Amino acid sequence: MSQKPRSEKDPIQAELEAALAGASLLDIDLELDRRGRGGPVSGNADGDMRKGTIVGIDGDDVIVELGPRMQGVLPQNEFDTPPKVGETFEFSLHGQKEGLWLLSRRKARLLAAWNQLEVGAQVEGTVKAVNSGGLEVVIGQLNAFMPASQAADHHVDDLSRLVGEKMVVEVLELDPKKKRVVVSRRKVLGAQREERRREIAGSLSVGDRVKGTVTRVEAFGAFVDLGGIEGLVHVSQISRRRIENAADAVKPGQSVEAEVVKIEEGGRRIGLSMKVLEPDPWAEAAAKYAPDAVFPGKVVRVAEFGAFVELEPGVDGLVHVSQIGGGGERVRNVAEKLPVGKQVDVRVVAVDTRARRISLSCLDSHGAVLGSDEAASGEEVRQAVSQIQAPKAIGTNLGDLLKRSMKR
């Protein structure tokens, strides 16, 4: 198997190597303090662990029976409380002097602590100090290093605020030979967040109505905290009215209500919709926007094939390019005729509520531009024609009306 390219090195491992460079303060000194004892030291069991029983106390020295014809000695200050004859403890061996093994109770506990730790284990520690590139954490008898980026699940500006705090951390690296323990709080927080995510995601179903707080807003949508898990309200799902940028409609910290419309990847992707909770204007569109009726609107979007006109929030219609210019005019630039934001009168051509489409026209039913003199004259003539039911009662004739219309 080929080695992993240097450029693909685990980013956390690369960060640890950089942060631990020269971090000698973390080294745990396992060399036995001889307490001023002189003389040669011999033996080849240095660092071995052995259980022994206290058989005597001579001044500051404690005599320990390790086995048949095997005794050791260590100072009383190696014990947390004054030792008593008959008590049994674990000791570490550190050479011999004058036939006695030199023992250490403290180093035995350190070695035991090393043996109890393993990579991936979660243990409780206390932040002792700020170190170069991170924090020094005390875990039982051991000192461990926590890189700054592993101190929380977000950036911490002032690491000194964590000094003295107890926290559960995960062991990232364990190297007894280098006397190095590297831990992470971010790993623990991430695991807790993942567990919380699974719990919440497991309780959610498509169609559920939820409340949350907007945590982050991008142009494409808003992220909403649902109490330990985030959902995304896409910009198209924020409101019935057309919104181009989510930041124009919602802000971080805002409380919102939405409906769950999608749950994917075990809850890692949750789609939300705010607009489905708003009244649907299309429910009454067919009755409200009857064919040939004229309504005011606003141009909200322009394309080569036509312009989209908003009749009300959530209801847009399309004015095809062929329905913009009157008198057979061929419109080559829609934006020149109907720029975005322009208020314009439009005539309803057709309504398809199932497809949510409305076809609109800037022309009247006879091809004249709505609101133009041509359209007004034509309408006057049509009204006059419709009134010619009893010529004697009207007191005028169609020819007079036509002449008057032509003079306008």
- Whole-number pLDDT of residue 299: 94
Domain boundary among 70, 91, 111: 111
| Judgement on whether residues 251 and 285 belong to the same structural domain of the protein | no
Structure confidence at residue 42 (pLDDT):
43
Number of Cβ within a 10 Å radius of residue 364? 22
Backbone angles phi, psi at 2, to 5 degrees: -70, 150
Please check whether residue 11 lies inside any domain of the structure: no
In a domain, 152, yes or no: no
pLDDT at position 153, please?
Answer: 85
pLDDT for 64 equals 93
Specify whether 314 is located in the same domain as 389: no
Query: Which parts of the chain have pLDDT scores under 50?
Result: 1-7, 22-44, 390, 392-395
pLDDT value of residue 381: 54
CB 63, CB 57: distance < 8 Å: yes
Domain-located, residue 179 = no
In a domain, residue 321? The reply is: yes
Residues 77 and 95 in one domain: yes
Take residue 182 and report the two structure tokens written for it: 């590297």
pLDDT at 96: 87
- What is the pLDDT, as a whole number, of residue 22? 47
Pair (317, 364) in one structural domain: yes
Please check whether residues 235 and 313 belong to one and the same domain: no
Residue 155 lies in a domain: no
* Inside any domain, residue 9: no
Structural domain that includes position 380: 374-407
Q: Is position 236 within any domain?
A: yes
From 111, 143, 161, give the residue that closes a domain: 111
* Separation between Cα atoms, residue 8 and residue 10, nearest integer Å: 6
Q: What is the CATH number of the domain that holds 85?
A: 2.40.50.140
Domain match, 267 and 303 both: no
Q: Are residues 342 and 381 in the same domain?
A: no
Q: Structural domain tally of the chain?
A: 4
Place of tokens 């009857």: 290
Same domain, yes or no: 251 and 305: no
Pick the last residue of a domain from 277, 303, 330.
277
Q: Would 327 be classed as within a structural domain?
A: yes
pLDDT at residue number 345: 94
Residues 286 and 268 in one domain: no
Residues 286 and 316 in one domain: yes
In order of 106, 117, 131, 150, 180, the CA distances from 140 in angstroms are 12, 11, 19, 20, 14
